[in-house]
Structure 1
Amino acid sequence: MVPVAEAIQTIIDLAAPLGIETVDALSAAGRTLAETVRSGESVPAGPRAAVDGYALRAGDQGERGLVSGEIAAGREQAIAVGPGQAVRIMTGGALPAGADAVVMVEDTEERDAVVTVRASLSPGAHIHATGQDIASGQVLLEPGATIGAAEIGVLATVGKTRVQVYRRPRVAVLATGDELVEPWETPPAGCIRDSNRYALLEAVRAAGAEPVWSGVARDTEDELATRFDEARHAADVVITSGGVSMGTRDLIKPLLQERGTIHFGRVNFKPGKPLTVATVDRTLVFGLPGYPVSSLVTFEVFVRPALLALQGAPQLFRPRVDVELEHELRPDAVRPEYARAIVRWQHDRLVARTTGAQGSSRLLSMLGANALLVLAPSEQPLPAGTQVSAMLTGPLL
């Protein structure tokens, strides 16, 4: 069996970023930037008022005569301020010719077209200078940046409406097994509803990739081969669910051996020992176990980082934190175990409790979990209060 760290490194080595495409910058949230973005202009383009008040000359003394008119944001007006004069100006208004400061309205008194200033002023007071926020030519974003709300705001500010990003991988999810029926069907005796395919499709989407619907392949060599070939020709990555263990109806590994290269077929890991990773031509293939929990946990630990690497993401792995166990826990005696847990703040420390029975088929153990506890093999129970490492998969409570 391959150790977990070696398996992850093998996968990352196979997951080079895909090609680059140009997309609408204003709807590129979640994408990874593939270019350097520089501002082609200064922001603000000219000096602007930072407050509501009066534009004037800071060096003038005494009262100022009020110039007719008012300067508001978004309206350029041919108004100039001479010695001993002032003009009303709103926040964001362009500083008029002759003025070098703005006094806040609270620091003034206006009567009979005369403004009395009750504050000390220096040139530049309450002014946003040209390029104060963004200088022309300034590097704003670099390759590898993840585009979020702030990045979209900056791109909009400088008029950058198209950006180059790494292409999202297309990921086909193919379930296997004669026993599977659709969720809306009543299972005949010996059958179960297909939960893995729908859970994995959503996990793929949450990882920023594009899911490709590939249906269910029945347990015959011909149907599996046909469905698999359709999936790999439609996608960059194929995820299969089930059919990777040691049974006579487990047909995924023989198919992959025939068509491509199997890089490993068993991992020293719980839950999900039968995980298989292969390449067929340029398609990366993950053969996940059929048990629902094993399927989702192996996706989280092994598949998700690969999908992020294919997108050129700068951060591939979930954050790790040290947590204190709230109760005794019995790890697996042989394999490293990733136990589903709820991590929360308690006073000044992080504590964790598992989500109950951790069986590979018990999908309820995933509900509410925001972490996977990374437990080293041990024949001894871990008492309450033991510090262990946790991979955060959701927000802290």
Structure 2
Amino acid sequence: MISIEDAQRTVLERISTVEGEEVPLLQALNRVTTEDHISPWDIPPADNSAMDGYAFCRATTADRLQVTGFLSAGEVRLTPVPAGEAVKIMTGAPVPPGCDTVVPVEEVEVEGTSVRILSDIKEGRHLRRRGEDIAAGEVALAKGTVLRPQELSLLAAMGKTAVRVHRRARVAIISTGDELVEPGCVPTPGKIINSNSYALAAQVLEAGGEPILLGIAPDTLHDTAEKIRAGTSADFVVLNGGVSVGDKDYVKAAIEELGGSFAFWKVDMKPGKPLAFGEVMGKAVFALPGNPVAAAVSFELFVRPALLRCMGHRHIFRPTVKAFLQEVVHNSATRPHLMRSMVTREEDRYVVSTTGVQCSAKISSLTRGNALMTLPPECSLATGAEVEVMLLDSSFGKSLVEAGVA
């Protein structure tokens, strides 16, 4: 068996980046730029007021000013403001020539057509200088940047309505097994609902990819091979079930029949030991276990990082934290055990507990947690021991809010 770390390295060495495409600005959210973005102009384009107030020249005036004009946002005054005079100015309006300071309306006393400054306003206060955010010709966003809302705001300020980003990777998802029926059916004796395909599709969506649900492959070599062949129109093929060595486990034989090969077949981990990665018809193929927890954990460790790398991301692994156990835990297996866990924060430290029974068919062991805790082989850890946990989703932050510490 290959270790988790060696398996991840093997996968990532074989993943190439998908090409770029131009999309409308809002469709670029959470996607990665394929080129540098250079600002065509200064941002802001002129010195402007940061406050509603009065613009004047601080060095040539006393604390009483004659108000001789008004500027709202969007208006421009080209004639200089004489010494000893001021213009009333709204936030965002360009500061007129002759002015170098703005006093807020809250810090003056109006006396007819003049105002008296009530505070010690220093020269240059409450001005936004031309180009102080981004200068014309500056690389505002570098190639490889993940576009969050704030990056989209900057692109919009640069006049962009569309942006070139790596396209979404397409992931074909296939479940195998005569025992499976699709959601919407009432399972008859011996049948179970194909929940794995929807869980995996959701994981693909969460990572920013495009899932393609190809349904259920019956337990025959021909049907399995045909589903895989159809899946090679995507960037990745992800199968679940049929990956072990049972009489009706046809995934390995089907991939080999299509001329595919494997880089590894088993991984030294629990859950998820019967997990394979290779190539078929020029496309990466992942064969995940059929148990729902094993499939989900395997996706997190191997498919998700590959998917993110494929779409141009540099940070491809989930964050990890050190946490202190709130219970005694055991791993009697000879493999590392990735235990479903709940992480919260107590004062200045993270604490973690398991979600109960760790059966790989128990979907609720995932729904009750927000992390995976890795236990070394054949170990027992006491309450208070420090362990490393991988954070799986945003519910971690929610749990901190609920605990009143975020």
- TM-score scaled by length of structure 2: 0.93
Paired AA for residue 391 in structure 2: L
Using a 3 Å threshold, how does the CA distance of structure 1 residues 26 and 147 change in structure 2: closer, same or farther? same
Paired AA for residue 64 in structure 1: L
Q: Is the 8 A contact 1:35 1:163 kept in 2?
A: no
* Superposition misfits of 4+ residues, deviation over 6 angstroms: none
Shift of 1:356: 0.8
2:60 aligns to what?
A: 60
Whether 1:27 aligns to 2:27 is yes
Distance 1:116 1:358 in 2: 73
1:236 aligns to what?
A: 235
1:392 aligns to what?
A: 391
Distance 1:197 1:236 in 2: 17
Q: Which residues of 2 match residues 1-397 of structure 1 at below 5 A?
A: 1-62=1-62, 63-67=64-68, 69-77=69-77, 80-233=80-233, 235-258=234-257, 259-378=259-378, 380-395=379-394, 396=396, 397=399
Q: Secondary structure in 1 aligned to 2:237?
A: strand
Paired AA for residue 358 in structure 1: Q
Q: Is the 8 A contact 1:177 1:217 kept in 2?
A: yes
Q: What are the Cα deviations for residues 309-346 of structure 1, in whole angstroms up to 9, with x where unaligned?
A: 10110101111111111111111331111010001112
Q: Secondary structure in 2 aligned to 1:381?
A: strand
Shift of 1:117: 3.1
Distance 1:166 1:241 in 2: 27
Paired AA for residue 53 in structure 1: G
Moved more, 153-162 or 289-298: 153-162
Paired residues, number: 394
Paired AA for residue 73 in structure 1: A
Q: Is the 8 A contact 1:328 1:382 kept in 2?
A: yes
Q: Secondary structure in 2 aligned to 1:302?
A: helix
Distance 1:116 1:383 in 2: 71
Shift of 1:303: 0.9
Unaligned runs of 5+ in 1: none
Distance 1:263 1:202 in 2: 26
Paired AA for residue 114 in structure 2: V
Q: Is the 8 A contact 1:26 1:156 kept in 2?
A: no
Using a 3 Å threshold, how does the CA distance of structure 1 residues 43 and 192 change in structure 2: closer, same or farther? same
User: % of aligned pairs identical?
Assistant: 39
Q: Secondary structure in 2 aligned to 1:330?
A: strand
Pairwise CA RMSD: 1.6
Distance 2:224 2:59 in 1: 84
Using a 3 Å threshold, how does the CA distance of structure 1 residues 332 and 156 change in structure 2: closer, same or farther? farther
Unaligned runs of 5+ in 2: 400-406
Distance 2:230 2:208 in 1: 22
Q: Secondary structure in 1 aligned to 2:338?
A: strand
Shift of 1:76: 2.8
2:402 aligns to what?
A: none
Distance 1:275 1:312 in 2: 25
